[in-house]
Structure formats: C-alpha cells, structure tokens
Structure 1
Amino acid sequence: MQTEVLRVDRNNIDQKIIKKAADLLKKGELVAFPTETVYGLGASGLNDESCKNIFKTKNRPIDNPLILHISNIDMLYNLVEEVSEDAKKLFGLWPGPLTIIFKKSKLIPTTVTAGGDTVAIRFPVDEIARNIIEEAKIPIAAPSANISGRPSPTNASDCFFDLDGKIPLIVDGGESRIGIESTVIDLSEDIPTILRPGFYTLEMLREILPQVRLDDALVDDNVVPKSPGQKYKHYAPKARMQVYVGDRAADFIYKKARSYRSQGIRVGVLIFDDDMERFDDFYKISFGDRNDLRQMSHKLFAALRQMDKMGVDLILAEGVMDNNLGKSIMNRMKKSAAGNIEYL
C-alpha cells in the first residue's frame, strides 16, 4: 500500500482533502489526522472490522479500548446510555483535550470497548479533526497514530515513519498544539476519577467537580491501573532513558553525561534553555523555558523521536515536579523511562 500525505492549511482548509479522508473512513479504511493533542489513527467508530484494523496496524493490545471522537454534542447521545449532570458540567471544556468515560449504548462495537461496558468519548477542538468527523458524519475511533509503545506522533512526518505502507492517507496539519494526549476522566461510577492526566489537570477539574480524584494507580505504583492502556509500556524511545528531578538535576546530568561518554556511550540530553550552552559538545534538545510547562509538553514526544534519529544509546532528561501540568508530563516521562526517575 502506498501512503499519501496531504497537507492542509488550517487557515484555509481544503475541503477536497477533508472529503477524501472522510470517504476513506466511511469505506472502512484507516486515516491519520491531527488533533490538538497528538495525531490520531482514525477508523469508523461504528465499524467493528475497521476498529479491529487499528489494533492490527498499531500492534495494539486487544484489551486497550479506543476513544471515539465526535464533532458536536448531539453525536454523543446515541453513543452513551446516560449523560449525567457531572458530564454536562464538563461540557464547558468541550471541544478540547478531555476524554469522558460513560456507560456505553448498544450501538458501540465490542472492539471499541475491549469488551467492557463503558465507552470513552472526546470532542476535539482541532479544526481539521472536526471537519473530517463532520464530513464523515460518524464517530471516529482514533488512538495515537504510532506503533504501540513508541512516542505518540505530534507531526505528520513521525506518523509517516511509523505507518508508511500501512494506511492509505495521512492528513498533514502541521504540529499538534498541545503535544500530550487528552485527560481521561471516568464518570461511569459514583466518584469522578482521572485515569490519565493530560492538559486539563486535577486542580482545573476540581474547580468544576470538587469531588474528582486521581486513580489510585497514578499515585501508587503497586496498584493495577483501572484504565487498561495505562498498564502498558508507552512513549518509549529506542534508547535507554533516565530522568532526574530537582534543583541539582542539570548539574547531576552534566556529570553523568561526561561519565557515560567516557565509557564510549552515545549520550543525548534533554534539558531547558538556560542550561543548553553547557552541553554544547553533547547531542541535546531543549524543552524550552523551564517555567513554561505547556512548551515542555508540546516538545516532549517530538524530542524523544529526534533523539532516536540522532542514534543515541542513552537519554538523560530533566524532569519537573509532579503537580499541575507537571503530573501529566511526568506520567509520560515515567513511562518513557520505564520508571527510571531519580528525585535529587
């Protein structure tokens, strides 16, 4: 299969490309497209065979449910059993990087829910994503457009690297604005529970739903995650990765980098702007301003993929404190580093 990449200008969206993507989806094909979080690998969300193809193409574990993407609130009501008052309160954050888990309706294929009785729904704000869904007039199942376990793609080039020859079309909308996946909140039980941290933080959601809590697995490594996908290795570069957090992190990374390099190890460094100069003789990428965590989240996955392209053996990365958006970033870094995080 030849994979076509078609560029769409967000300021002047080419509806011919949108229609081509929608037609392919309606025919049961897979299409990669941008969202504000990361690029998604889309399939018709009500077509069981198409959704099965997502799992095959990504090599995705079959017990990891898919998220259905909608283009307006009206689409939601056929997909879920009930819309609670808590859910309606969260609609103020839609469209946006928030996934809500509901009890599913009978319309939802078993493959989407991995056999469970709940379904995850997201209403993306990205103009290209919404145009495609609106043109297709069906909910689109769309996990990240990568091979499972790899860093999520935030641009069309990284999608192409993973999916070339496996899907017919990638819609190129430039870089994703946020760079990490949506916050996932479960409203299917009595207490609203965050299963995956994202752009919308615990602190932000508590302003709307004061009773919201974090899933126990997000605060205790010994607890099995309620969200099946959270138990798997994610976001991993090819190189081994170590993360250091604290006021002394940059100094510690510098010493470690020199030591490892003296052993013949190709070391890559992920740090912030104010420490870039001291690492001039290393492979390095900046997360940007250390006081701008949105910039860091935007750069994280692309930086991990770039380190792979540089061919490093080991990545030494500076992390951030585990609160607010930092919790979402560290959730991804922890998985990328297989838990190798040291607080200094």
Structure 2
Amino acid sequence: MITTSVAKAAICLKKGQVLAYPTEAVWGLGCDPYNEHAFHEILRLKQRPLEKGVILLAANISQIEHLLTTLPSQMREQVIASWSNHSAIERATTWLLPAGDEIPSWIKGNHSKVAVRVTTHSLCVALCQAFNGFIVSTSANPAGLSPARSLQEATRYFAQELQYLNGDLGLSQEPSRIIDAETGEVIRA
C-alpha cells in the first residue's frame, strides 16, 4: 500500500506493520518500537544485526521527556535546544540518551543508551502525533546499499513487503549526526 494519509500510515504502525516514510534527509523504515515482531521484520528487510540498535523518532519533547530526566540540566538544555532551534535545511541531531527500563532491549541493541531524535520534518511530526508516540526510524535500505532518497528507490529495495507513506523528503543533505549526551562523543559526524 502507498498512501499520502498520515492517519492510514499511523494505523499501519498500530497494526504492527512496517512503514517506509520520508524523513529530513533520507527515507526511513519505521514501526511501533514496542512491537518486537514488527521490529524484527525491519531487521530482516534491512539484513541488519540486532546488536546495532536503532533511532527513535519523536514529534516533540514531551514524547521523550522521560529519557532526559537523568541528564544534568545544562546538557538537557543543550539537547532540547538542538531540536527546538533546528531549521529545515540544517542537519538533524540524534542524541544517545540513558535508556530506562521502558525502552525495549531490542531497540537498544548491545547498548545501554537509546538513540533519539525530535524531528522538525512536518510529515514525521504528523506521523508521530497520529501514532501518539515515538516510532522506530532507521534508513530505508538493505545493509551495504545507499539509503533511499525517493519513493521509487524505497519500492525498488522493498517492493510490496511493506507499507509506504508518500511525501516530500526534508531539505537536509545528510542523515542526522549522532552525539552521546553524557560524554559529548560524536558517534556519527
């Protein structure tokens, strides 16, 4: 199924289906992060090992605020500012945050932290709001291939194996940078 309806796409996620959708820079694959079966379907489609973990994508700070509570206030403010003061053409920032017990182990992979991004991409914001929570976001490509940058590329990779939310890609030229919020280490520049 290919749709332009955010409501239909959110229903697909709630039903445990995998969804391809445009993000700030590349197409992503997403699912309900609490649905282990859907998550393992993403790993199968991508031929990605469980150990790597994935990014969680949120519409706003309130959806992930519970993950910020253990950060020192200055770091918490820096993380929030990077998401709040982000323009559409800037490269997005994903932060590695302390993961509480409420984040499933399969999302974290072999890590004690979880990768989180609050998006400014309007379609992704609407999708997370319609889903009523954060969703999995990992690039739409099999391991070793370039991330899809169009619906056509995504369907070439995955054909009829998943659902598609068609829309415009964001204006960023590169996938998000990834920074560890506790150490400041840049994981992906």
Q: Do the two structures share a fold, i.e. TM-score over 0.5?
A: yes
Q: Which residue does the alignment assign to 2:46?
A: 58
Which of 80, 83, 86 in structure 1 is aligned with 2:71? 83
* CA pair 79-43 structure 1, distance change in 2 beyond 3 A: farther
Which of 16, 28, 39 in structure 2 is aligned with 1:28? 16
1:257-336 to 2 correspondences below 5 Å: none
Q: Report the Cα offset of residue 181 of structure 1.
A: 0.8
Instruction: Work out the percentage of aligned pairs sharing the same amino acid.
Output: 23
Q: Report the Cα offset of residue 75 of structure 1.
A: 1.2
Asked if the contact 2:68/2:76 (under 8 Å) is kept, the reply is: no
What is the CA–CA distance in structure 1 between the aligned matches of 2:28 and 2:38, rounded to whole Å? 14
Asked if the contact 2:70/2:98 (under 8 Å) is kept, the reply is: yes
- Secondary structure of the residue aligned to 2:7 is helix
Asked if the contact 2:52/2:110 (under 8 Å) is kept, the reply is: no
Which stretches in structure 1 are left out of the alignment for 5+ residues? Answer: 9-16, 198-344
Which of 135, 138, 151 in structure 1 is aligned with 2:146? 151
Q: Amino acid of the residue matched to residue 79 of structure 2?
A: L
CA RMSD of aligned residues (A): 1.6
- Secondary structure of the residue aligned to 1:184 is strand
Q: Does 1:93 align with 2:82?
A: yes
Listed one character per residue, the Cα deviations across residues 46-81 of structure 1 (whole Å, up to 9, x for unaligned) are: 222222221111111221110001111011123456
Q: Amino acid of the residue matched to residue 188 of structure 2?
A: R
Q: Report the Cα offset of residue 157 of structure 1.
A: 1.0
Q: Amino acid of the residue matched to residue 155 of structure 1?
A: S
Listed one character per residue, the Cα deviations across residues 110-152 of structure 1 (whole Å, up to 9, x for unaligned) are: 1100032100100111100110100101210110011121101
Listed one character per residue, the Cα deviations across residues 260-311 of structure 1 (whole Å, up to 9, x for unaligned) are: xxxxxxxxxxxxxxxxxxxxxxxxxxxxxxxxxxxxxxxxxxxxxxxxxxxx
What is the CA–CA distance in structure 2 between the aligned matches of 1:82 and 1:121, rounded to whole Å? 15
Asked if the contact 2:21/2:165 (under 8 Å) is kept, the reply is: yes
Q: Which residue does the alignment assign to 1:170?
A: 164
Q: Answer 1 or 2: higher relative contact order, Cα 8 Å, separation at least 6.
A: 2
Q: Amino acid of the residue matched to residue 152 of structure 2?
A: S
- Secondary structure of the residue aligned to 1:45 is coil
Asked if the contact 1:58/1:148 (under 8 Å) is kept, the reply is: yes
The TM-score with structure 2 as length reference comes to: 0.89
Q: Which residue does the alignment assign to 1:185?
A: 179
Asked if the contact 1:22/1:135 (under 8 Å) is kept, the reply is: yes
- Secondary structure of the residue aligned to 1:138 is coil
* CA pair 45-130 structure 1, distance change in 2 beyond 3 A: same
Asked if the contact 1:47/1:109 (under 8 Å) is kept, the reply is: no
Q: Which residue does the alignment assign to 2:89?
A: none
What is the CA–CA distance in structure 1 between the aligned matches of 2:99 and 2:9, rounded to whole Å? 27
Q: Does 1:5 align with 2:14?
A: no
Q: Amino acid of the residue matched to residue 171 of structure 2?
A: R
Q: Amino acid of the residue matched to residue 105 of structure 2?
A: T
Larger Rg: 1
Which stretches in structure 2 are left out of the alignment for 5+ residues? Answer: 87-91
Asked if the contact 1:156/1:174 (under 8 Å) is kept, the reply is: no
Q: Amino acid of the residue matched to residue 48 of structure 2?
A: R
The TM-score with structure 1 as length reference comes to: 0.50
Q: Does 1:123 align with 2:118?
A: yes
- Secondary structure of the residue aligned to 2:138 is coil
Asked if the contact 1:37/1:181 (under 8 Å) is kept, the reply is: yes
What is the CA–CA distance in structure 1 between the aligned matches of 2:176 and 2:144, rounded to whole Å? 17
Asked if the contact 2:60/2:119 (under 8 Å) is kept, the reply is: no
- Secondary structure of the residue aligned to 1:74 is helix
